[in-house]
Structure 1
């Protein structure tokens, strides 16, 4: 009997575009599968998803193979995702807490993978003027794109992470900073999705970190990592816009660079309150 990965996947079933991605185009749903054009991250994502399946982690798509058009075939995770504009439920604190718990389960499952050499290709090139990254122990593969659009919910609780294209060597704290950026959220009100404009980021931060059960030593890393990440992000986004073009260029032209600068200033101005919220 053929396994799922040995099936001869075809592209003759009806397809529905899956919208919301900023960079990858051409992602569709076909039956119970998702079809994605292959990219530079495809080999690494395959290794990651196969490892998660082997560990029994049920919060990520399964890698199923390649179809007759050369597209990666993944399982479709049934549930509710935030579109654009974001729905009101993204402001629900219980949902945010469930995201933190899901991320903890993901980290615990992926830790045994380590950092395979296939992820060397996922390392971002270092443009001139890029501030150096803070030196922390990056011993697992972080998701690094935990936006409100990349989490699947069922019955009000987070059950799945999708879109692992930016997955790369990380510390737990790196990935948690990314989660807090979008879900606390650690950014000025003018750049937040509408429902999150009036959310108290400090209260949400405490609730999410308690749900994750992050230890005190790693909590102390969060604010410095967030500030360093925001400083590096401007240079990296500009570089990808100039070199890679496509969705990266569109985001840059739409003002993502200015939003990053505003986030840098917000993190600077609110550093003391953020440190208190993570303690």
Structure 2
């Protein structure tokens, strides 16, 4: 039954799951994942229930809350690119399958609409941050399609995990996020070693084709990516100051400098990147 968890399952041995930058204390217990209750819990619960109802198989199932107040999800078995990223993240076929999975997610989440529970999910605009690029919200985007948040089976992307950053968004917002990590649209010094030699233009062209992104949206990808990078510096600084924890650790480790480098890389390469995705 929705919202129920078998009592026997709550006492299974627990294994700490690595890879997250922000959420701590995520464990595997038997065939389930236990996550500390957070501000995003109700949003994630409603989203995962919708995805199950419409038959989307590429996400965990929400099971309920355990006797310690943790959210309980199904454990999605398969390969995940833990750090340091394995060599297989450079596979074009694998990357293309991530784009196809993201398209399938968008098609499935479209009927979810914009539930009220997501009203407080949109990020605030910190002082000094530029205006957001004018892209209307059309669905609940995943917004965190990192190398670590995709589960593969037999070399094919089979599931997205970690929906904590899901919020009102657009298809191209998520595609920009996809390009940041899987093309990857960032300077060589900030890429995982496995992607250091990747051709960001060729990979981007392959990814937008695999997603089957329309021509009008393709024309907005580079300016949206630049705007997002500019705004991310301010939002990351705010979260480090306001929320601390993993956000503070990332900021102290130099993520702000990495974002500045990405801004410059996008500026220098905007002409080639635009040509590649059109």
Give the TM-score normalised by the residue count of structure 2. Answer: 0.98
Query: What residue is the counterpart of 1:78 in the other structure?
Result: 77
Instruction: Report the 3-state secondary structure (helix = DSSP H, G, I; strand = E; otherwise coil) of the residue aligned with 1:146.
Output: coil
Superposition pairs for residues 163-178 of structure 1, below 5 Å? 163-178=162-177
Give the Å deviation of 1:264: 0.1
Query: What residue is the counterpart of 2:5 in the other structure?
Result: 7
Instruction: Report the 3-state secondary structure (helix = DSSP H, G, I; strand = E; otherwise coil) of the residue aligned with 1:247.
Output: helix
Post-superposition CA distance 1:224-274 (Å, at most 9, x none): 110000000000000000000000000000000000000000000000001
Question: After TM superposition, which residue ranges in structure 1, 4 or more long, deviate above 2 angstroms?
Answer: 3-11
State how far apart, in whole Å, the 1-side matches of 2:113 and 2:183 are: 28
Instruction: Report the 3-state secondary structure (helix = DSSP H, G, I; strand = E; otherwise coil) of the residue aligned with 2:165.
Output: coil
State how far apart, in whole Å, the 1-side matches of 2:10 and 2:157 are: 30
State how far apart, in whole Å, the 1-side matches of 2:210 and 2:183 are: 13
Give the Å deviation of 1:139: 1.2
Instruction: Report the 3-state secondary structure (helix = DSSP H, G, I; strand = E; otherwise coil) of the residue aligned with 1:128.
Output: coil
CA contact (8 A) 1:227 1:267 kept: yes
Query: What residue is the counterpart of 1:236 in the other structure?
Result: 235
Give the Å deviation of 1:6: 2.6
Superposition pairs for residues 114-263 of structure 1, below 5 Å? 114-263=113-262
State how far apart, in whole Å, the 2-side matches of 1:30 and 1:274 are: 44
User: Does 130-139 or 140-149 show the bigger shift?
Assistant: 130-139
State how far apart, in whole Å, the 1-side matches of 2:111 and 2:196 are: 38
Post-superposition CA distance 1:35-68 (Å, at most 9, x none): 0001101101111100000110000000000000
Answering whether residue 125 of structure 2 is matched by residue 89 of structure 1, we say no
State how far apart, in whole Å, the 1-side matches of 2:199 and 2:186 are: 11
Give the Å deviation of 1:77: 0.6
Report the aligned-residue RMSD: 0.9
CA contact (8 A) 1:8 1:68 kept: no
Instruction: Report the 3-state secondary structure (helix = DSSP H, G, I; strand = E; otherwise coil) of the residue aligned with 1:5.
Output: coil
CA contact (8 A) 1:44 1:118 kept: yes
Give the Å deviation of 1:18: 0.4
CA contact (8 A) 2:96 2:210 kept: yes
State how far apart, in whole Å, the 1-side matches of 2:68 and 2:50 are: 25
Give the TM-score normalised by the residue count of structure 1. Answer: 0.98
State how far apart, in whole Å, the 2-side matches of 1:108 and 1:4 are: 24
Instruction: Report the 3-state secondary structure (helix = DSSP H, G, I; strand = E; otherwise coil) of the residue aligned with 1:270.
Output: helix
